[in-house]
Structure 1
């Protein structure tokens, strides 16, 4: 089958830390040349700034760009609004996409306090949307945002210049409450690294329906544009492709809230879940905890291997994305060598499934 929507890529800066900003721009240019329609960049403290990297890409590569995801605790939304509007002056009318979520427990939860995450995502989104529409914003209407960022009570703010390209917002969370919020106030869902496990245990479609129903309640004519991230690690070196995934598998295990039966269905024993979480809580790095992950456990949340293996694993996942009405499949994580992975995915995915 061929997917009727878009194909994008996600660049994950905290593990792709070997690439300089100019190299990331070159890789974005390669992805565009291979036919990918969007580049997403993730947000972490202590690594290259998501907005600096995206601005560099926007200045040279004619491709749709976005944050996957932006962590609202990291930055004052007044600064974010100005940054988004400024970047929109470089995108030649192409949408700039803002994926928004609380941030992963590892590492974001180890870097900042994350109080009231649902309210924080909701208020930050509404705050940014109002500013970008040119409205005057009263910060007292956003108490969680104002308290976290220590914004002066009673303050009013208004943007001094308008965005020049569309700026749209997508929820990066995976639970029913955030999907309800997303359906009401956002432009769509950015279903992240839990896409594969949620699909396999039967939870994905009900979550998408929550967002759809919330959107229809808000506006019967509202149509969400939904993106799914499929974690991929592809290389002609099969062993390296598998090894690359394991730090991500650790991070996902730390975040998941599945039942023991669901973990077992995904091929991960409850004992392994407990041991990985205990190691992280005791101070092990993600890389150290990754030594605990087997090749078999990788398939719980990743497509991994050589190009032929990856294509075989991707076909049913993309077929499900098509059935559920996703507008974009974003291939995330990519592999140990981004240049090799982008070329292989361009030839073996876009060449056969787009």
Structure 2
């Protein structure tokens, strides 16, 4: 099994370094840092982490081709691969149209643009393929001079952040890995099937792809506090989820109307208190035992990589400590004992 953590780029440098070193000690295989607009720069944060860690792989999740050109994305990734000694992972996606609009950036042709970006980035970053083996579309400008003058020390794996069926299939055709955001986590078998459908159509083996089950988790000794931390995240983001994903949890966009109204009128804390159990099921919330149970269910459905994402818990350091010292050992014991 592979285990990873995903954290937001709102964390200050000292906190992030502490969490990364904590995760490395506990045996997490990867740490992904988001690169949401108007927060801290993930490439800068990851540059610091490269010098402060030794083993754990470091990923940026995600860079988009609208606010940064793919040539510059590839430059950053190649340099990070050098700085980390080959531990860097590049996540790309179309990004959020709403967030990009904050910077006055349009997002045309998200599927086609992301496919071009994945293909160009993999070629620039040393993927082992000849011209005849390039599976995806390249941008119009890409030509003989489109190459890094300082290539990476080894190929950089390129992951796609995806939720929609078409984006997941494209990732299966073109990428090294996929970051399927799962709301609810039990959507994983469907997301995996969509990725593998794309891989099969491109004549690829499933073994060529890393497909984490990427979910939100909130774990803590104080279960009520853990639920409230998850509820706040769901109150803020839940109404923007794709309707077909909400359906998987027995929900509809309309169910969030009262939550959104209170959010706008009274603020996030009041809105979080309206999040019910069906909504909370969009993530994994509760005690160590509850988290382990749902993680085992994901593993039984075919997940070989579990990726724990924010909020993680009401207390970030304590949550990572609980995941590392209690959840991971329990899951490892289940594998050793042959249980689900």
Match of 2:112 in 1: 119
1:90 to 69, 74, 83: 83
Aligned in 2, Cα 1:81/1:66: closer, same or farther, shift over 3 Å?
same
Q: Secondary structure at the match of 1:39?
A: strand
CA contact (8 A) 1:268 1:300 kept: no
Match of 1:53 in 2: 45
Number of residue pairs aligned between Structure 1 and Structure 2: 321
Separation of aligned partners in 1, 2:198 and 2:262: 35
Match of 2:220 in 1: 235
1:214 to 197, 201, 206: 201
Shift of 1:330: 0.9
Shift of 1:81: 1.4
Higher RCO (CA 8 Å, separation ≥ 6 residues): 1
Q: Secondary structure at the match of 1:73?
A: coil
1:336 aligns with 2:336: no
The runs of 5 or more residues in structure 2 that have no matched partner are 132-136, 333-340
Shift of 1:340: 0.2
Match of 1:224 in 2: 209
Match of 1:10 in 2: 6
The runs of 5 or more residues in structure 1 that have no matched partner are 147-152
Shift of 1:181: 1.7
Match of 1:256 in 2: 242
Separation of aligned partners in 1, 2:308 and 2:280: 15
Aligned in 2, Cα 1:288/1:110: closer, same or farther, shift over 3 Å?
farther
Aligned in 2, Cα 1:168/1:313: closer, same or farther, shift over 3 Å?
same
Separation of aligned partners in 2, 1:180 and 1:292: 37
Shift of 1:23: 1.8
RMSD over aligned CA atoms reads 3.2
Separation of aligned partners in 1, 2:71 and 2:31: 24
Shift of 1:291: 3.4
Separation of aligned partners in 2, 1:284 and 1:89: 49
Shift of 1:47: 0.6
**TM-score under structure 1 normalisation?**
0.79
Q: Which one is further off, 65-74 or 332-341?
A: 65-74
Query: Can you list the C-alpha shifts for 1:20-58, whole angstroms capped at 9, x where unaligned?
Result: 112201110001001111101111111111111111111
Separation of aligned partners in 2, 1:156 and 1:275: 55
**TM-score under structure 2 normalisation?**
0.82
Aligned in 2, Cα 1:88/1:295: closer, same or farther, shift over 3 Å?
same
Match of 2:16 in 1: 24
Q: Secondary structure at the match of 2:244?
A: coil
